[in-house]
Structure 1
């Protein structure tokens, strides 16, 4: 059993943030305040999450588990919006992030719980919510990065895209190279992470199970499953988000509509 950690020990660990603050001051990065706010926010969110999860685990209801997943998806959609310099509408971008992440997350997570993991019951929130959180978090990152890269690339390559459109190409043909670049960028962190696992890093889920005295091989098997799911969800999310934005910034007459991007 993993020993409990007192809040006094957490305070000691929090002192390591001073390293970040020192670097920020030395290099005039201006992120010291942001680091402090992020640290406090993280602590509050994790404490609240711990109490909410205790209650959800005790209730053990599929309906509440699904509601919790939807709430997580809503927050993830908002985080996707915050990472965009040129969103195609605030509500549209947040809704897109939420919809794509939940669709891909449910499509991958629910069959995995029922067929591969086979928890008892299969919808057990103790298994479903951590798994969905890991998958959704990675998908959120891929979606946010894909949209960010694509919006910048659309602005940068606008003249090239319009030239291709004027030559009779359809909107998706003209946007093809730009879409591929954005999707590749969105998937690069996932590919890099998969390649480094077991050589450079011991990933989070495997570390948690080892700390809880699980057999390392069993922990490794669970981590393999999670990484395959993350890879699939990230790919589906990145592709869906990229093509949705491409549809948003073009019209039925195959014209580029950058006026639909904010801040252009």
Structure 2
């Protein structure tokens, strides 16, 4: 991304890589946390319905298709909200910093748009991967919900 889209050479210099990775990882962590919380709380709250679907012959994936979709949606809310208001209601930190440092505003906007798309993609992929791991951990190959693996707080 740093080399191909933004044409930063070399892309691995810490002055470029560290801030971008910090933004990407921070946003991905927020998304994964929200998605995990939504998925596990839905499993706890809808346990009877999910186990009923499993008892009626649904596969484990069919039984939790809705909760997985809702969990992914919940994980993406902060990123989508940031993208919706970027430049209109709020100025993101990286763009503001570049403008204050004297960079051309159009270049700062271009960087910020690319960063927001990268954040959206990595957050989506991180949420999907984490939800798949949680799904595999909470359901066994016999299509049973493993409630004992959920910890109540």
Q: TM-score under structure 2 normalisation?
A: 0.96
**Partner SS state of residue 169, structure 1:** coil
Structure of higher CA gyration radius = 1
Q: Does 1:147 align with 2:36?
A: yes
Q: 5+ unaligned residues in a row in structure 1: which ranges?
A: 1-111
Residues in 1 aligned to 2:3 and 2:91: alpha-carbon distance in whole angstroms: 27
Residues in 2 aligned to 1:186 and 1:226: alpha-carbon distance in whole angstroms: 18
**Partner SS state of residue 5, structure 2:** helix
1:1-264 aligned at under 5 Å gives the runs 112-263=1-152
Question: How far apart are residue 119 of structure 1 and its match?
Answer: 2.2
**Partner SS state of residue 234, structure 1:** helix
Q: What per-residue deviation string (whole Å, max 9, x for no partner) do you get for residues 42-70 of structure 1?
A: xxxxxxxxxxxxxxxxxxxxxxxxxxxxx
Q: Which has the higher helix share?
A: 1
Q: What per-residue deviation string (whole Å, max 9, x for no partner) do you get for residues 211-255 of structure 1?
A: 111111111000000000011011111111112111111111000
Residues in 1 aligned to 2:10 and 2:81: alpha-carbon distance in whole angstroms: 34
**Partner SS state of residue 88, structure 2:** coil
**Partner SS state of residue 244, structure 1:** helix
**Partner SS state of residue 128, structure 1:** helix
Residues in 2 aligned to 1:122 and 1:216: alpha-carbon distance in whole angstroms: 21
Residues in 2 aligned to 1:163 and 1:263: alpha-carbon distance in whole angstroms: 21
RMSD over aligned CA atoms reads 1.1
Question: How far apart are residue 263 of structure 1 and its match?
Answer: 2.3
Aligned length: 153
Q: 5+ unaligned residues in a row in structure 2: which ranges?
A: none
Greater length-normalized contact order (CA 8 Å, ≥ 6 residues apart): 2
Question: How far apart are residue 118 of structure 1 and its match?
Answer: 2.9
Residues in 2 aligned to 1:245 and 1:128: alpha-carbon distance in whole angstroms: 30
Asked whether the equivalents of residues 3 and 9 of structure 2 are also in contact (C-alpha less than 8 Å), the reply is no
**Partner SS state of residue 200, structure 1:** coil
Structure 1 segments of 4+ aligned residues over 6 angstroms from their partners: none
